Each structure stands twice: as structure tokens, then as C-alpha cells.
Chain A
Amino acid sequence: AIQLTQSPTSVSASVGDRVTLTCRTSQGVSGGVSWYQQKPGEAPKLLIYAGSNLESGVPSRFSGSGSGTDFTLTISSLQVEDFATYYCQQFSTYPYTFGQGTKLEIE
């Protein structure tokens, strides 16, 4: 199975900061990864698909990039509502797998 390793595991930041989260896959992922945001007690929400495509309705401060085995999610200017846990996922090969998550906390 393709393993996804997210870094950092947790990060503290302030409102207005630019933050970049990383997802590294153990094998190349042809279709890119998707990124989700999850807040406590809620279902995950799709932010980015196929590596760099912004899901409809998601603020433009979120962006994704990368190819092969290295992918990033960038939040250009953190807002209060962005403090959450973020997961990447690959759909390139069964079993589809998630990263372990990055928890973004207020500094």
C-alpha cells in the first residue's frame, strides 16, 4: 500500500500567517493527492483535489501543488476558522490511503 507521511504532525501559527503543510507518498501518485480539513466533531471537508484544483466554494487562500511523491497545501493568510486538522489522501492505487494528519493550532 502507498503510505502518506504528513509533516509537521502539528504546527502553531497566528492569524495572518502563511502556512505550508507537506504530504510525501511512498510511491509516485499519478493523479495527485486530495486535501481535507476536519474540525472537531465534524466530517472532513474537501479543499483540494488532483493536487492543485480548488474545490468549489473553498476560499482562494488555500492552494495545493506538487507532483510525483511530494505535495503541499498552502494557506496564504490564516483565518481563525482555518485552525483544524488537515489530511491528504491518494486515489492512485488501491487501497486508497490517508496521511496521518497535521493539526494546525493557534499560537
Chain B
Amino acid sequence: EVQMVQSGAEVKKPGESLKISCKSFGYIFADYWIGWVRQMPGKGLEWMGNIYPDDSDTRFSPSFQGQVTFSVDKSINTAYLQWRSLKSSDTATYFCAREREGVDAFDIWGLGTRVTVSS
């Protein structure tokens, strides 16, 4: 079964670092772009950017450029989203999703990782 399994909820303090994960199953990990999507509490979906696991080619939305880092570990079919210094405004649920080639859509989604940043 094709699925994406995300790491569990996190509670952090402002200024702390964080790396959350998204592990893919059931398909060739290297061949599909993976996108990251933010959803702040009670708000809509925001495209943060994406990464191509085969060569780690990365694109960012201007709103997130320089704020987060994307990476992958092809040996374990896992993508990561990382912050060096969290802010309270990073409190949100973060989804990873697979971009199906030739279809221009996110066809498989993780369940989301809730990140709470509070002092």
C-alpha cells in the first residue's frame, strides 16, 4: 500500500530546533517530488515547497525560503522538514504529500505532524 507516515506531535520552546520526518512506503521514493504543506490552527493550506529525493533538488515558496530546510535520506525512504530556531508563529500542522508525475496534484498525503511552539 502506498502511504506516507509522519512523525508524532512535538511541543517546543521558541528558539529550539526541530526536525520532523515523513517516511514513504509502497513506491519508488526517488522518483516522486515530495511537498510540504503548512496549516495553521483554523486556517487554510499553504504550500511551503518541495524536494525531489533522487537529487535533492528543492523549491521553496518565498514565504518559507530561509525559514526551513528540506532534506531526504534515500536509504530509508524518508523526507525531513527542519527548523533551526522555532518561533511561536511556527505553531501549525505540517503535512507531507507525494506529487504524482504528470498529474499535477498531491495524490498521497501523510496524516500531518502537529507542532506547538510555546514558552
Which A positions have Cβ atoms within 8 angstroms of B?
Answer: 1, 31-32, 34, 36, 38, 42-46, 49-50, 53, 55, 85, 87, 89, 91-92, 94-101
Contacts and interface: CB of A to CB of B under 8 A. Distances in A.
13 contacts: A43-B110, A44-B95, A45-B109, A49-B103, A50-B103, A53-B103, A55-B107, A85-B44, A89-B47, A96-B35, A98-B47, A100-B44, A101-B45
B105 A50 contact: yes
Contacts of A92: 104
B45 A91 contact: no
Nearest to A87: B45
Given A32-B104, A43-B111, A95 B95 contact: no
Contact residue range for chain B? 20 to 34
Contact of B105 (A34, A43, A99): A34
Interface of B: 35, 37, 44-47, 49-50, 59-63, 95, 97, 99-100, 103-107, 109-112
Contacts of B45: 36, 38, 44, 87, 89, 98, 101
Contact of B59 (A42, A89, A95, A99): A95
Q: Is the interface of A mostly helix, strand, loop or mixed?
A: loop
Nearest to B47: A96
A44 B79 CA distance: 19
Nearest to B106: A46
A76 B106 CA distance: 24
A89 B105 contact: yes
Contacts of B61: 1, 95-96
B47 A46 contact: no
A101 B105 contact: no
